[in-house]
């Protein structure tokens, strides 16, 4: 008989999920929300329901595209269904949303930012040259410029979440980060596949965060030394 998988103790993540997501979410395996559960929610969307005026330069691809009231979508944005965009969302020039996404009310997605198969809860922001792959951003999350949520191992192997109890299998080959409400990342930080960050934690610029579980209300710092030398000659 194989040994039982170690239990994963999770920090506080999201205070509230939209009803459609809350109905299919497993708090013991929050990454599972990005699998068949998200597929089922997006499959229930109408073929197309657009409540905001769109520029003719916005590109809609596929079915199941829902856009709420007050959405502001810049030219050359590419929106690939199935996709839900809530009310008062801003999507800037050249953004690319694909793979099945849920974008909550009041979110902001920046110019040339790519969001692939991800959930952004209300007020989450990926505003400046970000990559968000197979990830969940809690309410009010803000990604600093150039933040990357990486979702794939170089060897293509299954992604495990590293914990004090040992590695926890997720059963997924693609998984980015799960960020609790109010998490903030600094510019050019990189979160490796399988990162879980508790609510209101701050991650400093240039940090490379490896797979693991990081507690709520923490500060993750990168310490470095600079040497300034006088030029010769």
Catalytic residues: 128
- CA 66, distance to chain mean position in Å, is 19
Nearest to 137 by CA among 127, 205, 172: 127
Separation of alpha carbons 100 and 84, rounded Å: 8
Nearest to 174 by CA among 6, 16, 4, 38: 38
Residue pair 133/99 in contact by the 8 Å Cβ criterion = no
Phi, psi of 118 (to 5 degrees): -140, 165
Q: Look up residue 43 and give its DSSP letter.
A: H
Separation of alpha carbons 39 and 36, rounded Å: 5
Helices (H), 87-203: none
Nearest to 21 by CA among 5, 36, 11: 36
Separation of alpha carbons 113 and 132, rounded Å: 8
Tell the burial category of 44 from Cβ atoms under 10 Å away from its Cβ (0-12, 13-18, 19+): exposed
């Amino acid at each position: 008989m194989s040994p039982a998988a170690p239990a994963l103790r999770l920090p506080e993540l999201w205070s509230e999920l939209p009803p459609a997501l809350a109905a299919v979410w497993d708090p013991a395996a929050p990454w599972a929300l990005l699998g068949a559960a998200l597929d089922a929610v997006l499959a229930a969307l109408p073929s197309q329901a657009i409540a905001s005026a769109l520029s003719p330069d916005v590109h809609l691809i596929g079915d199941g595209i829902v856009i709420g009231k007050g959405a502001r979508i810049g030219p050359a944005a590419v929106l690939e269904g199935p996709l839900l965009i809530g009310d008062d969302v801003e999507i800037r020039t050249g953004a690319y949303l694909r793979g099945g996404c849920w974008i909550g009310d009041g979110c902001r997605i920046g110019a040339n930012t790519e969001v692939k198969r991800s959930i952004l809860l209300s007020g989450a922001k990926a505003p400046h040259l970000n990559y968000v792959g197979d990830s969940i951003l809690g309410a009010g999350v803000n990604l600093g410029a150039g933040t990357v949520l990486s979702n794939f191992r170089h060897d293509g192997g299954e992604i495990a979440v590293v914990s004090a109890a040992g590695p926890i299998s997720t059963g997924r080959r693609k998984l980015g980060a799960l960020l609790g409400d109010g998490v903030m990342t600094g510019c050019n930080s990189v979160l490796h596949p399988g990162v879980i960050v508790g609510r209101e934690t701050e991650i400093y610029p240039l940090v490379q965060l490896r797979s693991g579980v990081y507690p709520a209300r923490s500060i993750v710092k990168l310490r470095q030394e600079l040497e300034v030398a006088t030029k010769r000659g």
